[in-house]
Structure 1
Amino acid sequence: MTDAEDEVVGLASELIAIDTTNTADAGGPGTERPAAEYVAGKLSEVGYDVTYVESGAPGRGNVIARLAGADPSRGALLVHGHLDVVPADPSDWTVHPFSGEVRDGYVWGRGAVDMKGTLAQTLAVARRFKRAGVVPPRDLIFAYVSDEEAGGRHGASWLVDHRPELFEGATEAISEVGGFSVTAGGRRAYLVETAEKGTMWLRLHARGTAGHGSLLHTDNAVAKLAAAVTRLDRHRFPLLLTPPVRDLLTGLAEMSGIRFDPADPEPFVARLGHLSRMIGASLRDTATVTMLNAGYKTNVVPSAAHATVDARMLPGREEAFERELVEVLGPDVRPEWDTMPAVSTTFDGHLVDAMAAAIEAEDPGARLLPYLLPAGTDAKSFRRLGIRHFGFAPLRLPPDLDFTSLFHGVDERVPVDALTFGTRVLDRLLRSS
């Protein structure tokens, strides 16, 4: 094992043990500072000149370090990830979510998958390169940022707006939610995120006439809102096969020997097992009701009711989605929203070739396939600097592991050998990209 492989599990465990829960409270202090200081210390220890920045709010720590490459004229590669994690209730877990426990061949805890395991991989490789005096082909910018789980307003988005010089010269980036393996027909493919849906976080408001719950009511805000969100929940937005999804399904069909009909892809997607929920969500826009808020006493009809909706739109569908959304909700509900645009790039170029070569060297016979992520990442912020983004955080996974369910799930964990495998792949990639 290299020194990077040797220390990646320990780094992941120690990062998970630092509770960086992001509750999305815009007015509250950040929790990322201790993890950012940990990363800064690990980088400084081997000789990096580290920049520590708090992005617009106390405790929102971010760490950026650059490793000079052999050819300064080439665009730099940004290797980024987020330090924050979503909440976890310890009573639901087999192990404490902030233990970082290593058990049964896995590293357990909130962030093992999303995405402190990946941060440990990039940190281990960055430390190895500095210790060994490795000079990569082009500049590498390592960035560990805050607030991704709440849209990056106090993280990547703030840095892009206020400290863009930290990413000077970056033309491409790699980060989370890609590079993991799937198995079809006894063969492995590694999925590379080349696109992700746009994000719309909606707040729905219904007004009515307040009164006593024992009387007849024809203007009930709660009933209006309930009817609207029920219509939205039952509505199916039109199917659209985007280029990365078409390429992914075509590749999986070739590997599995199962027929894929581009005009009717859903039967094929339904046969993809654990992948079907994620890939199914990439076939059309979605709108999921996540919170309801109304009333304050059993016998009082309130004058207002509110809901929140997590909506995701395919690239190019933003305007059409808004029109369709308003029509489905109807006139009794007033929507307001914040949006982040979809991101997409083509599946080609030297960086993609280098990914394929790094995977082939460590897993001969495997192939790369593009895909569209139905969620969102900090790529939405970095694209404003003209940076082309790929999701590539390599992990070779057991075929029976329901990997996508571990994102924000109970008992989040990552295989130890997947972490060491991905560390080797990243080492090869960053030496040759």
Structure 2
Amino acid sequence: MSRPDVHQLFNELETEWKEIEEEAVEILRKLIQMDTQNIGEDTNETIAAKHLKGLFESAGIECSDVLEEKPGRGNLVARIRGDGSSGLGAVMLSAHLDTVRAPKLDWKAEGWKHDPFGAVIDQEDGCLYGRGAVDMKNMAAMSVSVFLFIKRHGIMLARDLLFVAVADEEAHGSKYGAKYLVEKHPDLIEADIIMTEVGGCSTYADGKEFFPVEIAEKTSVLVTITANGSGGHSSLFHPDNPIGRIGAVCNALSTKMLRHRVTPAARSMLEGISKLLPWYKAPVFRNLLSPKLEPWIIDYLLTKKQAQAIIPVLHNIANPTVVHAGDQQNQIPSSASVTVDVRRIPGCSLDDTLDDLREVIGKEKFLPSVDSTGEKVAPELVLEVMFPMEGVVQDAEEPKVKEALECLHKVVYARSGGSPVIPFLLSGGTDMKFFVKHPTKKPVCLGFSPVRIPQGIEFPSLFHAVNERIPVDGYKWGLGVLCEVVFELCKAHR
């Protein structure tokens, strides 16, 4: 539908829209006050899912039962049925209801300005404080509010609109949430387009605002590297001390970057940013795509924060996270190991990723050898792969992806006064990796949970952080953007 028609809908309901903005703030506050910390098997997302179910049912919106793979790990699916005139599959909004840990009693000692579960609006900075404010109960509250607005005011849609609230995104494996729905209830969540985290938030390059939208993401692969040795008494010299070998592994992975790799999503992101910059700065970002120039640019032309953001986009990342070695102070252990969290670029095979890892550490260390007597010697290091998962690969130039991005850009550009949408590769992971594996329909998945952030607040650093917060005005702005995007995609009419 054309933009004038969408604006006409908003103009006709201007007073009602102000009411839904205030209600959306209260819905978010209520969700933040619910403790859904994902810190063990006893996490309780069901309390939030039941609350949202009550809101939907009170408004007469079609809603599933609370779906649980395990008691307490609740998921919910709501639907507004379209008239089918578009001939297109559903648009789906999704948000996870769980959060990372936050202190409940000693929050001041841990540096929080306000109670993480108090949902306080700070009068000084205009931000709503609380765990889940941006990750990602804000998207849940916005989605519910869009549904309520559509239902209350008789707005018709040309295709179905879904909202899916999921459990268990913050744990490795995420078996009780999106993965469970895709495997056990795929019929409830079949959609052409899915919008979830991370993206749609204000970001700035050289003072110019843009809105990144995730179209691809890395995945985590856990690798264990083990060194073996003869062990023995610590009063003797042990050149095969496995702790020393594992120390060398940790040092190599902590000081050397893995091989430079360019994906379509990375190219779109860097070329998009370069278009925002003055002519004399633009080549810096474009030339990051060159494996020969990138190291020099990172060392001499980028700030530390810029480098931290760019390196994961162009490299597989491997960080040592857990080391296991001896348990007695006067004994050399016979083995030592390190767990490495490897974040793999989508489209890069597992074998190629492991080759990158071995290349930095030293390929010869993983190969058997022959000693001076002709006897075979076991490899110095042994590598074992645990929990390999696939990332998300989408190209911004794919017709369906491009069409969805153009819709987001049109709305954001108009409502922001000229700021563009730029597709990007996420260095972390989201539920998107499960949604793209839907057994009957491959959806376009976009990280888009819009919020406008003023310069001075480093929005990405608020995720999982002390003093997680969201600007109330920016949240209301994002609510309007999300609603208009839904109207555009679903060809809303009355």
The TM-score, its normalising length taken from structure 1, stands at 0.91
Question: Partner letter of residue 90 of structure 2?
Answer: A
Q: Does 1:234 pair with 2:287?
A: no
Name the Cα RMSD after superposition.
Answer: 2.4
Instruction: String of CA shifts for 1:239-284, please: whole Å, max 9, x gaps.
Output: 2232232232223222221232432356389647855422332121
Residue 339 of structure 1 aligns with which residue? Answer: 388
Shift of the 112–233 alpha-carbon distance from structure 1 to 2, 3 Å rule, reads same
Of 268, 277, 281, the match for 2:308: 277
Instruction: Give the drift of 1:58.
Output: 2.5
Instruction: Give the drift of 1:36.
Output: 1.6
**What is the CA–CA distance in structure 2 between the aligned matches of 1:300 and 1:88, rounded to whole Å?**
40
Matching of residues 197-346 of structure 1 within 5 Å:
197-209=218-230, 211-257=232-278, 258-260=281-283, 261-262=286-287, 263=290, 264-265=293-294, 267=297, 271=302, 276-318=307-349, 319-329=351-361, 330-331=365-366, 332-346=381-395
Q: Does 1:37 pair with 2:43?
A: no
Q: Does 1:390 pair with 2:404?
A: no
**What is the CA–CA distance in structure 2 between the aligned matches of 1:36 and 1:308, rounded to whole Å?**
35
Shift of the 290–411 alpha-carbon distance from structure 1 to 2, 3 Å rule, reads farther
> Identity across aligned pairs (percent)?
33
- State the secondary structure of the residue aligned to 1:134: coil
Q: Does 1:355 pair with 2:377?
A: no
- The worse-fitting range, judged by mean Cα deviation, of 383-392 and 301-310 is 301-310
Residue 87 of structure 1 aligns with which residue? Answer: 101
Instruction: Give the drift of 1:371.
Output: 0.9
Q: Is the 8 A contact 1:205 1:334 kept in 2?
A: yes
Question: Partner letter of residue 9 of structure 1?
Answer: V
Q: Is the 8 A contact 1:69 1:138 kept in 2?
A: yes
**What is the CA–CA distance in structure 1 between the aligned matches of 2:147 and 2:298, rounded to whole Å?**
41
Instruction: Give the drift of 1:326.
Output: 4.0
Where structure 1 has 5 or more consecutive residues not aligned to the other structure, the ranges are none
Of 45, 70, 75, the match for 2:89: 75
- The worse-fitting range, judged by mean Cα deviation, of 173-182 and 129-138 is 129-138
**What is the CA–CA distance in structure 1 between the aligned matches of 2:45 and 2:241, rounded to whole Å?**
43
Q: Does 1:65 pair with 2:78?
A: yes
Q: Is the 8 A contact 1:275 1:404 kept in 2?
A: no
Instruction: Give the drift of 1:360.
Output: 2.8
- State the secondary structure of the residue aligned to 1:384: coil
Residue 164 of structure 1 aligns with which residue? Answer: 186
Where structure 2 has 5 or more consecutive residues not aligned to the other structure, the ranges are 1-16, 367-380, 490-494
Q: Does 1:98 pair with 2:117?
A: yes
- State the secondary structure of the residue aligned to 1:323: helix
- The worse-fitting range, judged by mean Cα deviation, of 404-413 and 140-149 is 404-413
Residue 429 of structure 1 aligns with which residue? Answer: 485
Residue 128 of structure 2 aligns with which residue? Answer: 107
Higher-Rg member (1/2): 2
Shift of the 42–221 alpha-carbon distance from structure 1 to 2, 3 Å rule, reads farther
Q: Does 1:56 pair with 2:112?
A: no
Shift of the 128–205 alpha-carbon distance from structure 1 to 2, 3 Å rule, reads farther
Instruction: Give the drift of 1:427.
Output: 0.8
Residue 367 of structure 1 aligns with which residue? Answer: 420
Shift of the 203–124 alpha-carbon distance from structure 1 to 2, 3 Å rule, reads farther
**What is the CA–CA distance in structure 2 between the aligned matches of 1:211 and 1:75, rounded to whole Å?**
66
Shift of the 430–56 alpha-carbon distance from structure 1 to 2, 3 Å rule, reads same
**What is the CA–CA distance in structure 2 between the aligned matches of 1:142 and 1:49, rounded to whole Å?**
11
Residue 26 of structure 2 aligns with which residue? Answer: 10
Shift of the 137–274 alpha-carbon distance from structure 1 to 2, 3 Å rule, reads farther
Q: Aligned pair count? A: 429
**What is the CA–CA distance in structure 1 between the aligned matches of 2:308 and 2:151, rounded to whole Å?**
41
Residue 118 of structure 1 aligns with which residue? Answer: 139
Shift of the 219–39 alpha-carbon distance from structure 1 to 2, 3 Å rule, reads farther
Q: Which has the higher strand share?
A: 1
Q: Is the 8 A contact 2:221 2:385 kept in 1?
A: no
Of 410, 413, 417, the match for 2:466: 410
